[in-house]
Amino acid sequence: MAGMLKKWIILLLIAIAAFVLGRLAVRAFLNLLLGGTLFGGNFL
């Protein structure tokens, strides 16, 4: 039972990390397309 819970916690952490990295990657990609600073810039 404890092993199952540990597996779910690890999966959850990986999912959160993937989501955050995905958001950053999308933002960096849009930044390259549109020009501007990584945080904000003339896009926002």
Q: Alpha-carbon distance 28 to 37, whole Å?
A: 9
Q: What's the pLDDT tens digit per position in 9-37?
A: 999 999 999 999 999 998 888 777 776 66
Buried/exposed code over 6-36 (b: 16+ C-beta within 10 A; e: otherwise): eeeeeeeeeeeeeeeeeeeeebeeebeeeee
Per-residue model confidence (pLDDT) at position 27: 83
pTM: 0.56
Per-residue model confidence (pLDDT) at position 30: 78
Q: What's the pLDDT tens digit per position in 32-41?
A: 777 666 555 5
Per-residue model confidence (pLDDT) at position 40: 57
Helical spans, DSSP H, in 1-44: 2-34
Show me where the domains of the chain are located: 1-35
Per-residue model confidence (pLDDT) at position 8: 96
Centre a 10 Å sphere on the Cβ of residue 41 and count the other Cβ atoms it contains: 13
